[in-house]
Structure 1
């Protein structure tokens, strides 16, 4: 799947999630693109997990094991990609270490990207820069201005 295919297939999910959870759609779609290799990673294809969200102690849903930072880590598995997008919003809203992000302007994708990295969303030290690069390369910030009708 190309970035254009990914955006046309899942961009609306990001906009819906933005309005439901107050997370920039540009950040949501860029994370999905990065974490799932534009929906092409074997892991995301099997689990529908486009955000690399691990199970955690409170997770009661389906799961899959996958090698990430450690072998055989537990990751959430979803019935659909849409469910993955929705759970991403719930996940960020439910963790206290992401609370400061929700005080940021919804159109400030750069601060959101750096805030996600500082809060430990990913272990990659270049995570924020990668998200910003994807957003700017594909002009994804335009999604942050979209309204639902």
Structure 2
């Protein structure tokens, strides 16, 4: 999938679902692009976000790289296995709005509606990569993803 094809596939779903939660679809799309390599490395059929499974989740075992104690390490881990793209985006929105670890990021977003501040607050919680927030923001800018944050008439 090319970046344009990926955005055309995920963009409308992210826009619709994120709007229900009051979240920026641009961040959802950029994270999906980064986490899945523009759709090349989707876990199962729809886990674009690298969401790990917890007890009771439908899951799939995947070999992955984690940044641990200052170095990249290869591990096997359990990841969520979604039945639809809508379900995956909905789960991302629930994570951002209900998981206490993201409370500061959500508060920043609700107070400022500033995508950069939201990403810089959320990024270090979401990923072990110390450059993750910069990568998300660069993806948003390079692909004009903030257009998906606008309310469509």
Instruction: State TM-score, norm by structure 1.
Output: 0.87
Residue 101 of structure 2 corresponds to which residue in structure 1?
A: 97
Residue 127 of structure 2 corresponds to which residue in structure 1?
A: 122
Shift of 1:75: 0.5
- Give unmatched runs, 5+ long, in structure 2: 67-73
Aligned counterparts, 1:1-149, within 5 A: 1-41=1-41, 44=42, 46-57=44-55, 60-68=56-64, 69=66, 71-105=75-109, 107-118=113-124, 120-147=125-152
The CA distance in 2 between the partners of 1:138 and 1:7, in whole Å, is 9
CA displacement 1:64-97 (0-9 Å, x = unmatched): 0112235221110011222111111112222101
How many residues align? The count is: 143
The CA distance in 1 between the partners of 2:18 and 2:87, in whole Å, is 14
Instruction: State TM-score, norm by structure 2.
Output: 0.85
The CA distance in 2 between the partners of 1:15 and 1:87, in whole Å, is 14
Q: What RMSD over aligned residues (CA atoms) do the two structures have, in Å?
A: 1.7
Q: Which has the higher strand share?
A: 2
SS in 2 for 1:38: coil
